[in-house]
Amino acid sequence: MQRRGAIKYLTLTAGTLFVAPAWATAWTKASVGAKTAYLSAAAGDLLADVVDTIIPVTDTPGAKELGVPGFVQRMLTDCYEKEVQDKVKNGLERVDALATESYGKPFARADATQRLALLTRLASSTDTDEKEFLALVKNLTIQGYTTSEYVMTTFYHYVMAPGHYYGCVPVPSAVSSAKEMNNKR
């Protein structure tokens, strides 16, 4: 009986080795991103515009340029429950509807001052869903921006592996070190 179990196990293992390379070659970063993105392309573009309005390009790159919209979507997909994701979708629809209602054009075609005024209006809204939507997107945008590679290396001077080990460094002899210390006294 044990031999039959061992033969089944070996057959399954060998079969897995033949099937796994076919599965692994079809796996790309783009295909994984497409499966995890819960927003449509239009909603994703609108999110990118909102994120870019929160942290625009100045003498430093803006949030959109650093890929923060992808970070926001990934965080919403991986770390938040469906109800919050739905609130974000509804919030994006509300942003576009308010832009059309206020300026006669969608949020994407509004200029920077109109976009900022609209987001300021959402921040001071009496509707809690609108305020929560903007607060969540704003917090995730700031988190994504401040943890981006550009900000971490340029402003925080982050080093991936601090405390580099220098193995071959000349060391003064103990006798010369003692003489130097006596001379300082």
What pLDDT digit, counting tens, does each position of 82-116 carry? 999 999 999 999 999 999 999 999 999 999 999 99
- Does residue 65 carry a pLDDT above 60? yes
Least confident of 25-34, 67-76, 170-179: 25-34
Instruction: Read off the DSSP letter of residue 66.
Output: T
User: With pLDDT > 90 as the criterion, what percentage of the chain qualifies?
Assistant: 55
Q: Does 37 have pLDDT greater than 60?
A: yes
Q: What pTM, to 2 d.p., does this model score?
A: 0.68
Quickly list H helices, 55-127.
68-79, 82-103, 112-123
Give, for 119, the enclosing helix (H) or strand (E).
Answer: helix 112-123
Residue 140 has pLDDT above 90, yes or no: yes
Is 142 in contact with 72 (CB distance < 8 Å)?
A: no
Q: Which two tokens stand for residue 143?
A: 């988190």
CA distance 68 to 52: 9
Residue 32 clears pLDDT 70, i.e. is over it: no
Q: Domain coordinates of the chain in residue numbers?
A: 37-154
Terminal Cα-to-Cα distance of the chain (whole angstroms): 85
- Indicate whether 156 pLDDT > 80: yes
What is the pLDDT at residue 23?
Answer: 42
81: tokens are 């429950």
